[in-house]
Amino acid sequence: MSAVLKAEGLGVHTGDLALVQDVTLTVGRGERVGLIGESGSGKSLTALALMGLLPEGLHATGSVRLDGSPADLVGADEDELAPLRGKRMSMVFQEPMTALNPTMRIGDQVAEGMLLHRAHRRRAAARSAAVELLDDVGLPSPAEAARAYPHQLSGGQRQRVVAAIALANDPDLLICDEPTTALDVTVQALVLDLITRGVAARDAALLFITHDLGVVATVCDRVLVMYGGRIVEAGEVAQVFTRPRHRYTSGLLAASDLARTDDGRLLTIPGSVPQAGAFPAGCVFRNRCAAATSACETLPSWVGPDPEHGHACVHPVEVPA
Amino acid sequence: MTDPSAAPQPPSQAASQTTESLESDAIASRSNSGDSVASAVAGNESSIIRLQDVRREFRRPRRSLLQPGPVVPALRGVTLDIAAGERFGIVGESGCGKSTLLRIIAGLDRPTSGSVQVAGREISGLREGRLGFLRDQMQLVLQDPMSSLDPRMRVRDIIAEPLVAQGKPHPRTRIVELVESVGLSADALDRYPHQFSGGQRQRISIARALAPDPRILLADEPVSALDVSVRAQVLNLILEIVERLDLTLVFVSHDLSVVRHVCERVAVMQAGEVVEIGPTDQVYDEPAQPYTRSLVAAIPHLRTALEGRTAADLAAGAAAATVPPDRPGEN
Ligand SMILES: Nc1ncnc2c1ncn2[C@@H]1O[C@H](COP(=O)(O)OP(=O)(O)OP(=O)(O)O)[C@@H](O)[C@H]1O
Ligand code: SF4
Ligand SMILES: [Mg+2]
């Protein structure tokens, strides 16, 4: 499988504070990879760094390569990045309004995305292609929707429009950052379906960020678990979610299951995610981990055949034989 | 600690109303064995919250100078009985009217018609000044802990706020007790909301809600903005407090899988109506209505996903519940 996206030793820093460190990942053609972790783990910063969209004051280190583009995206100029975005790689955020222009009709926004990257020569052709695309993502009465302004659509419909725009130019890579977190379950189901179908039809690579493990299990084949700005475990979804090795992963699984202990309480991970810069040295999960020993005070090394499979835990959860 | 007579009472009429309702309450608790589950509609005299055919219409802003804006029914005749001490859930999708219903129960909004009784007292017709007893009895916890906490206030003032508003004493010992009861330490009192995480901020709003020593806790999506692990912590806290203080809980959520872990009974709302009501496990495991079935079918589950349930399957399950295209603002 050819890797569409390859990041090596990716880091995000502000001043001398490291927010994301040593992230190595690949996403292959047609592959769907989840990135999970609690709020403040560094998921969004990782996504923004991959897209070259880090806000002012933050900078990336390491390397990010997109298949077929010779230059390293880390350190590339906006001139080099802009033509890639929206065409080779695109992104869907949690809040659809961040991606939509409130004063422009939906159809024109979709068409503009296509024209910009010359998928269509003529405006009229782009316009009818836009309506087709809106139909594709399941908007009721697409021709009417094309004439509407964003505020005239519901949140779920807006998110479908954003997904349509993101898929409009058949990108090789789609990055989604919590695209359905603000939606009702039924609407979420439709948007997830639309994203997975859209990606499959284009044989595109998908990197999907969420803290809902049920969503990851539904959408993805592989998963990366992030905590404290580091990947702490990675592997096939079926493997990681049934036989987690890192203590953070197993805690996350228990908490998201809303499983009960014998005294009727729900299982939780004790404490909360520290502020950036306040994670302990060594294993970043050390101050919340019941299994921590002094051995965890040094940064655990990666145990596994490759960066896509393995964990960084000194005392991993035993795997039942 | 809650003594209705201690609340500032408006003179004459309201006072006699109180006596009346207290009497009927006493009779009710003698005659009723507390079988709340069966009484979907009415007839349970021990209910602490009682809604009869509650309707609420909103007028949308007008679009033309000549015509008034269209009327949108947010609640179309809701009848509910919630027993004292019950943990009651209300689920439904955004726009179904669940928050409007909660605001009406809390006396923050008025029904267009219908009756709303809290602890035996009709509140739907009462003027703001006469709702003092409600503010005593009932407290509300909202979804977004950031926007519901005043960023310029210290935590101690936030927690004392409901007491201050009611002109009640708020000694430091009480405030410390409250903040500690939600698992924070006393040194949190001198800090500001932005210095806390989302889960900690939700703890602060729970501490504030508990300050007037209410009998009823209303919670509108209290964990929707929280992470999975923090969500479990806050749910534990709510359950523990409801049990320890013997509160009645009304818990509104779009997420049936969360309600299931918190509530004994649940009402499912769709487009302003209660379409199904029953014990939570039953509604979840054997939903009677197609709408409820589609709500359950759309929930992504870890286990079923690992067994091969795809996004297309979820979407197929959800399809029955999608809002018709002529009401686009609602989904
Ligand atoms: N511009 C910035 N300057 C300094 N610190 C930042 C900046 N943006 C984010 N951070 C910090 O970096 C850490 C990781 O943030 P990030 O947004 O990537 O988390 P996340 O995993 O996406 O969380 P969520 O699930 O809440 O979206 C957090 O501690 C955050 O406060
Ligand atoms: S390395 Fe140590 S502290 Fe970190 S998760 Fe494993 S056991 Fe816990
Ligand atoms: Mg994020």
Closest by CA to B144, choosing from B68, B72, B70, B226, is B226
Is A31:A200 a contact under the CB 8 Å cutoff?
no
pLDDT above 90 coverage of chain B, percent: 47
Q: What is the mean pLDDT of residues A233-239?
A: 97
Cα dist from A246 to A86, A240, A257, B310, B331, whole Å: 36, 9, 17, 26, 39
| Distance from the Cα of residue A92 to its chain's centroid | 9
If one compares B26 and A260, the residue with the highest pLDDT of the two is: A260
Taking an 8 Å cut-off on Cβ atoms, the answer to whether B331 and A218 are in contact is no
Q: For B211-272, where are the alpha helices, taking DSSP H only?
A: 228-244, 256-262
Judge whether residue B127 has pLDDT over 90: no
Asked if B163 and B197 touch (Cβ cutoff 8 Å), the reply is no
| H helices present in A137-261, as ranges | 142-147, 155-167, 185-202, 213-219, 237-242, 247-256
Domains and CATH numbers, chain A: 3-220 (3.40.50.300), 246-311 (no CATH)
A14 close to B (CB below 8 A): no
CB A39 within 8 A of CB A49: no
Amino acid letter, A16? D
Say yes or no to pLDDT of A292 above 50: yes
Q: How confident is the model at residue B31 (pLDDT cuts 50, 70, 90)?
A: very low
Give the tens place of pLDDT for each residue, A134-161.
888 888 889 998 999 998 888 888 888 9
- CATH top-level class for B15-60+70-288? alpha beta
Residue B33 has what pLDDT?
38
Q: What does the pLDDT read at residue B38?
A: 38
Does the CB atom of residue A45 touch ligand 1 within 6 A?
yes
Percent of chain A with pLDDT over 70: 97
What's the gap in Å between B160 CA and the centre of ligand 1?
32
Cα–Cα separations (whole angstroms), residue A97 to A74, A101, A102, A180, B218? 27, 7, 8, 13, 31
Q: What's the pLDDT band for B266 if we cut at 50, 70, 90? A: very high
- Chain B closest CA to A197's CA: distance in Å? 8
State which residues have CB under 5 angstroms from ligand 3, the bound ion: A 44
Asked if the model's pLDDT at residue B330 lies above 60, the reply is no
Determine which of B185, B194, B204, B227 to mutate to test the interface with A (most A C-beta atoms within 10 Å): B227
Q: Is the pLDDT of residue B117 over 80?
A: yes
Domain boundaries, chain B: 15-60+70-288, 289-320
> For residue A68, what pLDDT band results from cuts at 50, 70 and 90?
confident
**Residue A79: pLDDT over 50:** yes
Decide: A173 and A32 in contact? Cβ < 8 Å: no
The label of the residue with tokens 């534990």 reads B236
Which of the pair, B53 or B221, is modelled with greater confidence? B53
Q: How confident is the model at residue A260 (pLDDT cuts 50, 70, 90)?
A: confident
- Residues of chain A found within 8 Å of residue B194, distances taken between Cβ atoms: none
Contacts of A132 (CB under 8 A, 6+ apart): A142
- Within 8 A of B310 by CB-CB distance, chain A residues are 196, 218
On the question of pLDDT at B2 being above 60, the answer is: no
Q: What is the mean pLDDT of chain B?
A: 81
- Find out whether the beta carbon of A39 lies less than 6 Å from any atom of ligand 1: yes
Q: What's the A230 CA to ligand 3 centre distance in angstroms?
A: 14
Whole-angstrom CA distances from B275 to A313, B9, B99, B271 are 49, 38, 16, 9
- Could you report the per-residue pLDDT of B41-70, keeping only the tens digit for each? 344 558 999 999 999 998 877 767 777 778
Question: In this structure, are residues A248 and A227 in contact, taking their beta carbons and an 8 Å threshold?
Answer: yes
